């Protein structure tokens, strides 16, 4: 198919990762190789910025800045949690969609790339369907991104390898610290990591064991396995007896048998109507201190874990970049409504390739840690998980430093001239 | 003075750091150059292990393991928070002291090195005085170690540079993350760092600004400055108006005007009778969300910050090593009752040397951030602080990695044969 002439627009959505900018770098660098692609624009703060016609000219950015995106965390274009919700707010959604296509037409956008997780792939899918319905020729591609690793169809998601590499490093280091303070009293540390519904992030910290059962983490609590307080306390006691200390990792979305999140603060909801979570680790601390009278401390990594580019996975950054580049090649080749997915060819040695998946199969489907990748007692991911996760953390992204700190890039963000009246 | 013939004992005490093992490496490597020093022993878990005659033979360790201590976090010999308290428990203290000297004599310990913070320097000082009183010839040296940076007389403490390097990196990365999510709503992130009485650790994160006022941290709350809720909320609002997001760093020991810690859980005390702190960030989050209705998240770095050897300061590690080596040289030279201190010769270019200070001047004295190193409004350390702190984070310690994770060393810990009956 002949290349479609027009401009490219790329935007980012949802929670950032250490490598979502690497995907944008892949889009920009690859776009330069396709004659049909004329201008390369970025949408600020995802859909929200596009609705406001806040576009920037990525063709104006220095090459060094674009290269720097390969090691710069967070969303260099800005991100949002804005949902086009035809079910709950059909009128607003229809109006938003009209506005998006006004912006696309005004700027002759013929290539649209949206990097994000489940909700963002859903948005990309809706835009693709809408383009087809309207007969507006535009190639729409989702670009996978989520530390949560909960997208279906793809072997894993760009962003995941880096978050578990950092978190496993933290578990290793905190384990040495707590272990070195362990006297006969014993002490316990609970490290809370992200992961609302799926426990992939918590599970990934098992890599810190490096094959040694004595090493931390000693207990990993996943949202997939209902929290059993008695069994947990017994496991903590057993661990303290064996090692004099105990490192527990818990996913923020840990649930009891009734399916209620043990640390949920249900008074606040995010833009997607999910409960805002806080405090699974604090809750577990109360339980351990209260029931076992064991000195217990918590670590809440929060945003630090998904932004820790100073120790990001080189494998992850390369895959993220490649997903961006493959999306552009596919679009240039006439494809639309797809998302690049990572296909594993072998685990040892690790070999992978990128193929394409229909967005209809991705949007709003969540992918959980398989039960048979978790030990029978539910307290540790097993060797099947380790085989899966280990290759994803290989290698370190090289980040330049100055005066002892990482030097990340910020884009010049030269605005594209607006052509429309402000959004109503 | 002729060298004293006998064995060396080194032990670690208090909370670990990323570089306290580097000091032990300095002791071990330097000890090998002094003929008077015969065996090199380590005491497990500080004073506690010495009381139990739990000594290990550091001369048996592989050279690669000793070299590895230069980049391995936590306390490789184990640590403790055990206080010989003549004031509160005079009988127990006297009994402990008798036992310590039984162990020293049984193993012909003539060189004793104790690496730690305020409480540990106090212990070293007491042991030195006791040795003099008993006429037991032993050279006792404190080795400075504390992320808190609150020891007097020394320009700064080994361990401090590494913790602020990591924390400033986290602030940089979390700032990019939160900034990239900032839409018109604004969002706030509160990062709680260690620092019970002194705000050195919180203050150190100001380096993340790298001279740019717009960069995070936007507000740094130090225990030295009484927390003023109204002024704080005004500053958050002002920051959100200017930047659309706000990164707040707070020391765990933040206090109100009445001197009460805002996040203290007074139901638990540690071995030294200090209140165990938790929750300054959670308390601030409640305030910001409640009063400003601003989306607010927290990060609680906890033990992760002081164990983050994967991004430790090379300057810090070198200074820690040198302090250990200088302590041995001084002891071999006949000195006792001293602690190596770091003396700054110039800040730019950074030049330093190590001198010796009487332990009597160190023990139990706390050193705070000077008021004139903090902005008038109390919300940010100023350029005097930056000049002081910037050189301390220079360079990165190189840590070997395998399968994507840092490879730290563990000692073989061959036990020294016990010669005494178990402690009563």
* Mean pLDDT, range A63-69, rounded to an integer: 97
Closest CA to B109 of B40, B45, B25: B40
Is pLDDT at B385 greater than 60 in this prediction?
A: yes
Tell me the pTM. 0.96
Cα nearest neighbour of A181 on chain B: B79
Confidence band, pLDDT 50/70/90 cuts, at residue A270? very low
Q: What is the pLDDT of residue A267?
A: 52
Shortest distance, CA B12 to any CA of chain A (angstroms): 10
Residues in chain B with CB shorter than 8 Å from the CB of A297 are 302-303
CB A317 within 8 Å of CB A22: yes
Phi, psi of A344 (to 5 degrees): -85, 125
CB A401 within 8 Å of CB B398: no
The neighbour count for residue A365, using CB atoms within 10 Å, is 14
Cα nearest neighbour of B277 on chain A: A297
Confidence band, pLDDT 50/70/90 cuts, at residue A422? very high
Is pLDDT at B273 greater than 60 in this prediction?
A: no
| H-helix or E-strand spanning residue B42 | strand B37-43
The CA distance from B222 to B255, in Å, is: 8
Is pLDDT at A234 greater than 90 in this prediction?
A: yes
Instruction: Verify whether the Cβ–Cβ distance A405 to B304 is below 8 Å.
Output: no
For chain A, domain boundaries: 6-145+309-363+398-406, 160-306
Cα nearest neighbour of A244 on chain B: B78
B83-140 pLDDT, tens per residue?
Answer: 899 999 999 999 999 999 999 999 999 999 999 998 999 999 999 999 999 999 999 9
Residues in chain A with CB shorter than 8 Å from the CB of B80 are 181, 183
Residues in chain A with CB shorter than 8 Å from the CB of B282 are 282
Give the catalytic positions of B in this structure: 148
The CA distance from A138 to B333, in Å, is: 80
B364 or B392, greater pLDDT:
B392
CA-to-CA separations, A203 to A68, A207, A227, A354, in angstroms, rounded: 30, 8, 15, 24
Fold matches, B6-146+309-362+399-406 and B160-306 = yes
Burial of residue A328 (CB within 10 Å: 0-12, 13-18, 19+) is buried
Query: Residue A117: CB partners within 8 Å, gap ≥ 6?
Result: A13, A14, A15, A144, A145, A146, A148, A150, A151, A157
Instruction: Verify whether the Cβ–Cβ distance A299 to B300 is below 8 Å.
Output: yes
The CA distance from B18 to B29, in Å, is: 19
Smallest Cβ distance to B297: which of A282, A302, A393? A302
The neighbour count for residue A106, using CB atoms within 10 Å, is 14
A3-57 pLDDT, tens per residue?
Answer: 799 999 999 999 999 999 999 999 999 999 999 999 999 999 999 999 999 999 9
B204-237 pLDDT, tens per residue?
Answer: 999 999 999 999 999 999 999 999 999 999 999 9
Shortest distance, CA A403 to any CA of chain B (angstroms): 6
Q: What is the pLDDT of residue B378?
A: 97
Residues in chain A with CB shorter than 8 Å from the CB of B15 are 181
The CA distance from A327 to A335, in Å, is: 9
Residues in chain A with CB shorter than 8 Å from the CB of B183 are 45, 48, 78, 80
Q: What is the pLDDT of residue B270?
A: 45
Instruction: Verify whether the Cβ–Cβ distance B177 to A208 is below 8 Å.
Output: no
The CA distance from A119 to A269, in Å, is: 16
Residues in chain B with CB shorter than 8 Å from the CB of A308 are 170, 173
Catalytically annotated residue among A148, A150, A185, A265: A148
Q: What is the DSSP string of B162-226?
A: HHHHHHHHHHHHHHHHHHHH--TT-EEEEEEE--SS--HHHHHGGGGGTT-TTSSPSEEE-TTS-
Q: Which CATH code for domain A6-145+309-363+398-406? A: 3.40.50.450
* Mean pLDDT, range A373-395, rounded to an integer: 98
The CA distance from A136 to B184, in Å, is: 31
Burial of residue B3 (CB within 10 Å: 0-12, 13-18, 19+) is middle
Q: Which two tokens stand for residue A347?
A: 């685990």
Closest CA to B339 of B353, B324, B319: B324
The CA distance from A78 to B75, in Å, is: 42
Is pLDDT at B269 greater than 70 in this prediction?
A: no
| Per-residue exposure over B242-251, b if at least 16 CB sit within 10 Å of its own CB, e if not | ebbbbbbbbb
| Strands B401-402 and B405-406, bridge-based pairing | antiparallel
B140-155 pLDDT, tens per residue?
Answer: 999 999 999 999 999 9
Instruction: Verify whether the Cβ–Cβ distance B189 to A302 is below 8 Å.
Output: yes
Chain B contact probe: residue of A119, A165, A176, A400 with most B CBs at under 10 A: A176
* Mean pLDDT, range B280-299, rounded to an integer: 91
A121-158 pLDDT, tens per residue?
Answer: 999 999 999 999 999 999 999 999 999 999 999 999 99
CB B27 within 8 Å of CB B143: yes
CB B316 within 8 Å of CB B160: yes
Query: Residue B131: CB partners within 8 Å, gap ≥ 6?
Result: B101, B137, B138, B140, B336
Chain A contact probe: residue of B293, B404, B408 with most A CBs at under 10 A: B404
Shortest distance, CA B180 to any CA of chain A (angstroms): 4
Confidence band, pLDDT 50/70/90 cuts, at residue A420? very high
Is pLDDT at B315 greater than 70 in this prediction?
A: yes
Chain B contact probe: residue of A177, A189, A217, A263 with most B CBs at under 10 A: A177
Confidence band, pLDDT 50/70/90 cuts, at residue B364? confident
Residues in chain B with CB shorter than 8 Å from the CB of A208 are 405
Chain B contact probe: residue of A18, A69, A81, A181 with most B CBs at under 10 A: A181
Is pLDDT at B322 greater than 80 in this prediction?
A: yes
Cα nearest neighbour of A304 on chain B: B174
Helix axes B229-243, B280-292, angle to 10 degrees: 70
B6-146+309-362+399-406, CATH topology level: Rossmann fold (3.40.50)
A23-37 pLDDT, tens per residue?
Answer: 999 999 999 999 999
Q: What is the pLDDT of residue B290?
A: 86
Q: What is the pLDDT of residue A278?
A: 52
| Residue that the structure tokens 């839409």 belong to | B183
Is pLDDT at A2 greater than 90 in this prediction?
A: no
C-alpha radius of gyration, chain A, whole number: 22
CB B143 within 8 Å of CB B327: yes
Is pLDDT at A383 greater than 70 in this prediction?
A: yes
Is pLDDT at A168 greater than 90 in this prediction?
A: yes
Is pLDDT at B320 greater than 60 in this prediction?
A: yes
Q: In this predicted complex, what is the ipTM?
A: 0.96
The CA distance from A301 to B11, in Å, is: 31
Shortest distance, CA B208 to any CA of chain A (angstroms): 8
Q: In chain B, what is the greatest distance between 2 CA atoms, to the nearest angstrom?
A: 73
CB A114 within 8 Å of CB A11: yes
Q: Which two tokens stand for residue A258?
A: 């009734």
Q: What is the pLDDT of residue A279?
A: 84
The neighbour count for residue A102, using CB atoms within 10 Å, is 16
**CATH assignment of B160-306, given 3.90.45.10, 3.40.50.460, 3.30.70.580, 2.40.30.60?**
3.40.50.460
The CA distance from A134 to A112, in Å, is: 15
The CA distance from B211 to A305, in Å, is: 25
A341-360 pLDDT, tens per residue?
Answer: 999 999 999 999 999 999 99
Query: Residue A399: CB partners within 8 Å, gap ≥ 6?
Result: A71, A309, A310, A312, A406, A407, A408
Q: What is the pLDDT of residue B265?
A: 55
Q: How many percent of chain B have pLDDT more than 70?
A: 96
Closest CA to B20 of B324, B247, B248, B256: B324
Burial of residue B335 (CB within 10 Å: 0-12, 13-18, 19+) is middle
Instruction: Verify whether the Cβ–Cβ distance B300 to A304 is below 8 Å.
Output: no
Residues in chain A with CB shorter than 8 Å from the CB of B308 are 170, 173
Residues in chain A with CB shorter than 8 Å from the CB of B268 are 289
CA-to-CA separations, B293 to B179, B237, B286, B288, in angstroms, rounded: 18, 11, 10, 7
3-class SS string, chain A: CCCCCEEEEEEECCCCCCCHHHHHHHHHHHHCCCCCEEEEEEECCHHHHHHCCCEEEHHHCCHHHHHHCCCCCCCCCCCCCCCCCCCCCHHHHHHHHHHHHHHHHHCCEEEEEEEECHHHHHHHHHHHHHHHHHCCCCEEEEEECCCCCCCCCCCCCCCHHHHHHHHHHHHHHHHHHHHHHCCCCCEEEEEEECCCCCCHHHHHHHHHHCCCCCCCCCEEECCCCCECHHHHHHHHHHHHHHHCEEEEEEECCCEECCCCECCEEEEEECCCCCEEECCHHHHHHHHHHHHHCCEEEEEECCHHHHCCHHHCEHHHHHHHHHHHHHHHHHHHCCCCCEEEEEEEEEECCEEEEEEEEEHHHCCCCCCCCCHHHECCCCCCECHHHHHHHHHHHCCECCCCEECCEECCCCCCCCECCCCCCCCC
CB A141 within 8 Å of CB A334: no
Instruction: Verify whether the Cβ–Cβ distance A170 to B207 is below 8 Å.
Output: no
Instruction: Verify whether the Cβ–Cβ distance A403 to B393 is below 8 Å.
Output: yes
Q: What is the pLDDT of residue A184?
A: 67
Instruction: Verify whether the Cβ–Cβ distance B75 to A181 is below 8 Å.
Output: yes
Burial of residue B309 (CB within 10 Å: 0-12, 13-18, 19+) is buried
Smallest Cβ distance to A394: which of B315, B396, B404? B404
Confidence band, pLDDT 50/70/90 cuts, at residue B267? low
CA atoms within 13 A on the CB side of B295: 18
Q: What is the pLDDT of residue A263?
A: 82
Chain B contact probe: residue of A80, A161, A392, A405 with most B CBs at under 10 A: A405
Instruction: Verify whether the Cβ–Cβ distance A396 to B404 is below 8 Å.
Output: yes
Give the alpha-carbon dihedral of B124, B125, B127, B133, to 10 degrees: 160
Strand, coil or helix: B269: strand
Smallest Cβ distance to B180: which of A78, A282, A298? A78
Confidence band, pLDDT 50/70/90 cuts, at residue A277? very low
Q: Is the peptide bond preceding residue A410 cis, with omega within 30 degrees of 0?
A: no
Cα nearest neighbour of B298 on chain A: A302
A185-210 pLDDT, tens per residue?
Answer: 779 999 999 998 999 999 999 999 99
| Per-residue exposure over A61-82, b if at least 16 CB sit within 10 Å of its own CB, e if not | beeebbebbbbbbbbbbbbbbb
Partners of B72 in beta bridges: none
Shortest distance, CA A333 to any CA of chain B (angstroms): 32
Shortest distance, CA A405 to any CA of chain B (angstroms): 6
The CA distance from A140 to A110, in Å, is: 8
Is pLDDT at A276 greater than 50 in this prediction?
A: no
């Amino acid at each position: 198919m002949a290349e479609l002439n027009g401009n490219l627009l790329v935007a980012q959505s949802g929670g950032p990762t250490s490598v979502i900018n690497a995907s944008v770098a892949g889009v920009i660098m690859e776009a330069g190789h396709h004659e049909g692609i004329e201008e390369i624009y970025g949408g600020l703060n995802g859909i929200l910025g596009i609705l406001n016609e806040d576009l920037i000219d990525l063709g104006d950015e220095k090459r060094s800045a674009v290269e720097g995106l390969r090691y710069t965390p967070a969303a260099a274009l800005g991100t949002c949690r804005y949902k086009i919700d035809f079910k709950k707010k059909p009128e607003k959604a229809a109006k938003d969609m009209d506005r998006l296509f006004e912006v696309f037409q005004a700027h002759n956008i013929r290539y649209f790339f949206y990097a994000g997780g489940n909700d963002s792939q859903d948005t990309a899918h809706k835009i693709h369907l809408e383009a087809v319905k309207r007969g507006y020729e535009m190639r729409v591609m989702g670009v996978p991104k989520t530390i949560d690793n909960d997208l279906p169809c793809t072997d894993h998601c760009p962003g995941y390898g880096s978050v578990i590499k950092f978190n496993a490093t933290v578990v290793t280091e905190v384990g040495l610290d707590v272990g070195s303070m362990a006297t006969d009293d014993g002490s316990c540390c609970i490290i809370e990591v992200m992961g609302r519904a799926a426990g992939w992030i918590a599970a990934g910290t098992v890599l810190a064991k490096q094959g040694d059962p004595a090493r931390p983490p000693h207990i990993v609590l996943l949202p997939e396995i209902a929290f059993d307080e008695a069994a947990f306390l017994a496991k903590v006691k057993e661990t303290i007896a064996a090692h004099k200390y105990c490192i527990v990792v818990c996913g923020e979305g840990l649930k009891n048998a009734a399916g209620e999140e043990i640390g949920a603060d249900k008074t606040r909801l995010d833009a997607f109507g999910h409960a805002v979570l806080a405090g699974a680790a604090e809750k577990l601390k109360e339980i351990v201190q209260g029931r076992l009278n064991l000195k217990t401390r918590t670590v809440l990594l929060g945003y630090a874990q998904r932004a820790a580019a100073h120790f990001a996975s080189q494998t992850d950054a390369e895959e993220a970049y490649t997903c961006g580049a493959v999306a552009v090649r596919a679009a240039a080749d006439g494809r639309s409504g797809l998302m690049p997915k990572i296909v594993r060819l072998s685990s040892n040695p690790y070999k992978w390739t990128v193929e394409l998946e229909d967005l209809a199969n991705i949007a709003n489907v969540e992918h959980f840690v398989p039960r048979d990748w978790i030990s029978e007692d539910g307290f540790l991911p097993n060797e099947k998980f380790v085989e899966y996760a280990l290759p994803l953390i290989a290698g370190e992204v090289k980040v330049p430093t100055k005066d002892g700190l990482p030097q990340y890039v910020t884009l010049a963000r030269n605005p594209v001239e607006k052509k429309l009246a402000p959004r109503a």
